[in-house]
Amino acid sequence: MKYALPLLALLTAAAPANQNVPRPGYVRVQLNTSEGPIVVALDTRHAPATSKNFLAYVDDGRFDGTSFYRAARDKRDPKKGFVQGGIRTDARRILPPFPLETTARTGIKHLDATISMARGTTPSSAGGNFFITVGPTPGMDARPGYDGYAAFGRIVAGMDTVKKILAKPSGGGQDAMKGQMILKPVTLISAKRLDGKPQPTKEPRMWLYNFGG
């Protein structure tokens, strides 16, 4: 019996801490999808502008009813890669652009289970689309002569859901997205913050109006 308490203490110390809890400097958001929930923790301390932008889309309901539409699998290991979701090209949902926060500035690298902003060719073109990595993707980090992408948080629950999305049959697309468009996109039913009070913008919510009569 005298060995029981030391052994219990050792097992407790070895057990991984539950990261899906409130933590200073982070705001958790739950993405409810047709394949299950995903919880992300946004690093508001190191990536304040990117986190603020993402939370604006969440608090306005701009992600509600959108989808995960891209599964980019690593050709060497199809179980790794990234999934992409958001508003796609729906101009009714888009918010004003914001400056790119590079990984060199934030220190947030593209490791496994990282959430980052998708963007076009110009640095400040990120908006309402994002991606989640499965496995590390260091090629997306900033380096001399290359701005990279703005990583701004980590997945703290629901990576099983992310992996199911990555495994979805895909095809179509063109250029960098060739063969990567999910044939039956996964619905992003809703996005809700779990920490703090919602702070919706005053921008118009044009997607809620039916102008077709």
Give per-residue pLDDT as tens, 13-50.
444 457 888 899 999 999 999 999 999 999 999 999 99
| 92-136 pLDDT tens trace | 999 999 999 999 999 999 999 999 999 988 888 888 999 999 999
Tokens of residue 66, six digits: 């959108």
Q: What is the pLDDT of residues 46-57, one digit of tens each?
A: 999 999 999 999
Return the percentage of the chain with pLDDT > 70, whole number. 91
Q: How far is the C-alpha of 206 from the C-alpha of 213, rounded, in Å?
A: 15
Q: Which two tokens stand for residue 35?
A: 């394949």
Q: pLDDT tens for residues 58-67?
A: 999 999 999 9
Report how far apart, in Å, the C-alpha atoms of 206 and of each of 24, 58, 90, 91, 161 are. Answer: 35, 16, 10, 9, 30
